[in-house]
Structure 1
Amino acid sequence: MSIEKLSIRQIKAARELLGWSQRDLAKHSGVSLPTIMRLEAAGGELGGRKSTADAIRAAFEAAGLVFIFRNGGGLGVRLR
């Protein structure tokens, strides 16, 4: 089973929905702040190591977010 890759736009939208700063995401995901900053500056799909992407996604999902990949309207994120 393939897991869809998050986009940087989804990451930024997810942080906004939760009212999280980059520092908050770093704290909740265990990913360093410089790494969060570097990833978000790149744009496009979330790059970096799979373990980093998994940690970021897990932090958002634990906070109650659901990522949308195919719904006819494009990528997105919503509160569960």
Structure 2
Amino acid sequence: MTTVVSGAQIAAARALTGVSQARLAARAGLDLQTLRQLEANGHGPLDVTAEVESVLRALDDFGVLFIDDGDGFGSGVRLKFSRKEAKAIGAWEDEGGIVGDDDVP
């Protein structure tokens, strides 16, 4: 996943999904301070690092779609799903047990 993304987009994506910094950091396998530093970078593009890639994967899991800068409208974020679907997915994600890979092909 090689998307040009900014710290502001990560913060906006997190706010859009209602996910806390602590939860996103845990899902991405990062410490909280690393995520805070990424978000604090503002509107400039972040270098593509393993940390950024893991945050993007985690946000993808939460249903975020990053919008590239194009057609003069600028970059942004939106949900892949409707709010109702995203809320249901969030509830399913929090149901008991250890998070693991699906066995479904």
Bin for the TM-score computed over the shorter chain: 0.7 to 0.9
Kindly indicate whether the alpha-carbon contact (under 8 Å) linking 2:2 and 2:53 is maintained by their aligned counterparts in 1: no
Write out the 4+ residue segments of structure 1 that deviate beyond 6 Å after TM superposition. none
| Deviation, structure 1 residue 3 | 2.7
TM-score (norm 1): 0.83
Question: What is the total number of aligned residue pairs between the two structures?
Answer: 78
TM-score (norm 2): 0.66
**Residue type matched to 2:46 in 1?**
L
Unpaired runs of 5+ in structure 2? 81-105
| Deviation, structure 1 residue 23 | 0.8
| Deviation, structure 1 residue 51 | 0.8
- Percent identity between matched residues is 38
SS at match of 1:5: coil
Which protein, 1 or 2, shows the higher relative CO under an 8 Å CA cutoff with sep ≥ 6? 1
Larger Rg: 2
| Deviation, structure 1 residue 21 | 1.7
| Deviation, structure 1 residue 46 | 2.5
Unpaired runs of 5+ in structure 1? none
Give the Cα separation in 1 of the matches to 2:40 and 2:49: 18
Are residues 1:74 and 2:82 paired? no
**In angstroms, what is the RMSD of aligned CA positions?**
1.8
Richer in helix (by share): 1
